[in-house]
A = this chain, B = another copy of it.
Amino acid sequence: MSRPPLAREKVLDAFEHVLLVEGERAATMDRVAAEAGVSKGGLLYHFASKIALEEALIERMDHLVALDMDEMLADPSGVAAAFIRSSAQTGDELDRAITAVGRLASNGSALSVEAIRRLRVTWHDALKPFVESEVGLELILLVSDGVYFNNALTIGSVPEIADMEALITMVTTAAGVQSPAA
C-alpha cells in the first residue's frame, strides 16, 4: 500500500503506453522494459510475470474507475450526460487504463475480460436510478461503448468526435434521463 516505488509505476505506465500505441502484440516484456528505461531483470523484480503486469493494470483501472464514479455522481449536468461525455475523454488517465485493459481483453486475457465485464455492471448499476427504462439505460451504455470502441480502434492516433454535445442531448432525451435540475 502507502507509496508504490517509482520504477514500478514507470513500468506500468510503459506497459499501458505500448498497449495503447502499438497494441498487445508489441507489449512484450523486453519492449516494456526498454520503454520504461529499466532492464528486463529490473522489470521482473516488480512484476514476476506477464500476468502480474496485467493484474496491476486492472487494479489501476479499477481504482481510477472508482474515482471517476465519484466525480460523475457529483456532476451538475447529470450522471448520464457526464457518463457519455466521460467516455469521449480520450487520453485521460482513466480512458487510457480502460483502453489498455480492453486490448488485453480482446486478446484472450480472461482476467481482463472479467474486469471489463465488472466495469460494465458497475456503470449499469450507477446509471440505473437516473434512467426511466431499461432500454434507455441500454442505449446510453451502448453509445458509450461505441464511442469507446471507436477510440480504441484508432491505434496511436486521436479519433474525431463531431458534435458531442448534440449527441449527448439526443441520447439523454431519447433514453429518458431524469433532468439534473429536477
Contacts and interface: CB of A to CB of B under 8 A. Distances in A.
Contacts of A166: 135
> What number of copies of this chain does the assembly contain?
2
Nearest to A110: B155
Contact of A135 (B22, B153, B163): B163
A6 interface: no
Nearest to A134: B162
Interface string A118-141: 000000000000000011101101
Of the four ranges (under 10, 10 to 19, 20 to 34, 35 or more), the interface on chain A belongs to 35 or more
Given A170-B139, A170-B174, A174-B170, A113 B153 contact: yes
Q: Is the interface of A mostly helix, strand, loop or mixed?
A: helix
Contacts of A106: 23-24, 102-103, 106-107, 152-153, 155
Interface stretch (A9-17, A34-42, A60-68, A142-150): A142-150
